[in-house]
A and B are shown apart, each in its own frame.
Chain A
Amino acid sequence: MTDKQVDWNLLTLVGADRAGIVARVTRVLYGLGCHLGEASMIRLGGNFTIMLMVSAARPNADILAALAPVAAELELRVHLDAMSGGLHQHLLPNLQVRVTGADRAGIVADVTEILAAQGFNILELESDVAGDRDRPVYIMNIQGYSDHTIESLADALAPLSERGVAVDVAPVDVLIG
């Protein structure tokens, strides 16, 4: 499929997780003649979440109407929005930032504000809370791109270690072979 002629929508689905959601939803989309592009599904807090590029093969109202019965049955919240952009727009990260610390409010803002000031463009971010209920540990892994050196990023992030947050900056070396 050539991407140039395709207009894309972003379909977002959120609901209680159970087996078979992706199969049911994508069967409906296939029936409408929609192509699928990039997608990201993840369980967050026990919930099913997915963001999915869906070609605008039909008017949005038709797509939503076709999804409505499945969404009602599986108790999914649905969003469908026109999106600009398309496939083949990947950017490669050159740096990885790993953050670990006792869970506390503000940790993400603290880290990402410093990164933003360093011209760091976050391409991927995932975070989780590990440990146990009494001693939760916040873990975040960021991959992104910055023209600044690792040393300069590490220096900028160093003050966080005084506040009990371990931050590690490492190169992301993509092997092409």
Chain B
Amino acid sequence: MAILDILKLPDPRLKQISEPVTVFDQTLRDFIADLEATRLAGPSAVGIAAPQVGRFWRIVIVDLSTRPKTPNHGHLVLINPEITHWDGFAMGREGCLSVPDYTGNVIRATQIRLTAQNADGVEQEYEMNGFEARAVQHELDHLDGLLFVDRVVSRRTDLYRRKVYQ
């Protein structure tokens, strides 16, 4: 296993859209092991996406298994993930391995349904909510070249109050 270099803002490669994975072989499994080692080497990230290490494949890892109080599906390798359903929204604070020393508020869906393949190419379906749903949305954004800084809202943003201009 190797710890890979993490691309950091303003690296333009972070804007690149990643390609679907079509071959589920040992190379893929080796890369996933490196990606996981890289996630664990950093500052307590609950997720990581392949493009963050310069591999533009649609692969993310999300792992909330260290948070027993947070509903979660454990350690997940999500390949070619697709969110099929969104519901609700909430503001929460996010940071990113690719954006050191900055956190900001982002509005995300509170409930999602998701399909993804695992490392063996087997398709799985998940229903997620809260923090795990937020983590998945953050990581999937990376696959489409989006960072949370592209979605940050002011901490004064009220989800319900309408703005009045005069």
A interface residue numbers (CB < 8 A to B): 42, 88, 90, 92-93, 124, 126, 143, 172-177
The verdict on A176 contacting B155 (CB below 8 Å), with A90-B103, A92-B103 known, is no
B93 touches A172 (CB 8 A): yes
- Give Cα A92–Cα B131 distance, bound, in whole angstroms: 17
B interface residue numbers (CB < 8 A to A): 42-49, 62, 70, 92-97, 101-103, 131, 134-135, 138-139, 155-156
B101 touches A175 (CB 8 A): no
Task: Return the contact of A176 from the options B49, B95, B156 (Cβ within 8 A).
Answer: B95
CB contacts (< 8 Å) of A124 on chain B: these are 155
B156 touches A175 (CB 8 A): no
B103 touches A177 (CB 8 A): no
CB contacts (< 8 Å) of B70 on chain A: these are 173
Known: A90-B103, A175-B92. 11 other contacts (CB 8 A): A42-B156, A92-B103, A143-B155, A172-B93, A175-B46, A175-B94, A175-B95, A175-B131, A175-B134, A177-B45, A177-B139
- Give Cα A174–Cα B96 distance, bound, in whole angstroms: 10
B103 touches A173 (CB 8 A): no
- Give Cα A175–Cα B155 distance, bound, in whole angstroms: 16
A174 touches B103 (CB 8 A): yes
- Give Cα A177–Cα B47 distance, bound, in whole angstroms: 4
- Give Cα A143–Cα B92 distance, bound, in whole angstroms: 12
* Shortest beta-carbon contacts, A-B, top 9: A177-B47, A177-B138, A176-B45, A176-B95, A175-B94, A174-B93, A88-B101, A177-B45, A177-B135
- Give Cα A138–Cα B139 distance, bound, in whole angstroms: 37
Return B68 CB to nearest CB of chain A, in Å.
14
Task: Return the contact of B93 from the options A42, A88, A126, A175 (Cβ within 8 A).
Answer: A175
Which A-chain residue is minimally distant from B42 (CB atoms)?
A: A176
Which A-chain residue is minimally distant from B154 (CB atoms)?
A: A42
- Give Cα A40–Cα B49 distance, bound, in whole angstroms: 32
Return B31 CB to nearest CB of chain A, in Å.
18
CB contacts (< 8 Å) of A177 on chain B: these are 45-49, 62, 94-97, 135, 138-139
CB contacts (< 8 Å) of B47 on chain A: these are 175, 177
B43 touches A176 (CB 8 A): yes
Task: Return the contact of A174 from the options B42, B49, B94 (Cβ within 8 A).
Answer: B94
Which A-chain residue is minimally distant from B142 (CB atoms)?
A: A177
CB contacts (< 8 Å) of A88 on chain B: these are 101
Which B-chain residue is minimally distant from A46 (CB atoms)?
A: B166
- Give Cα A115–Cα B64 distance, bound, in whole angstroms: 30
Which B-chain residue is minimally distant from A174 (CB atoms)?
A: B93
CB contacts (< 8 Å) of B44 on chain A: these are 176
Which A-chain residue is minimally distant from B52 (CB atoms)?
A: A177
Which A-chain residue is minimally distant from B46 (CB atoms)?
A: A177
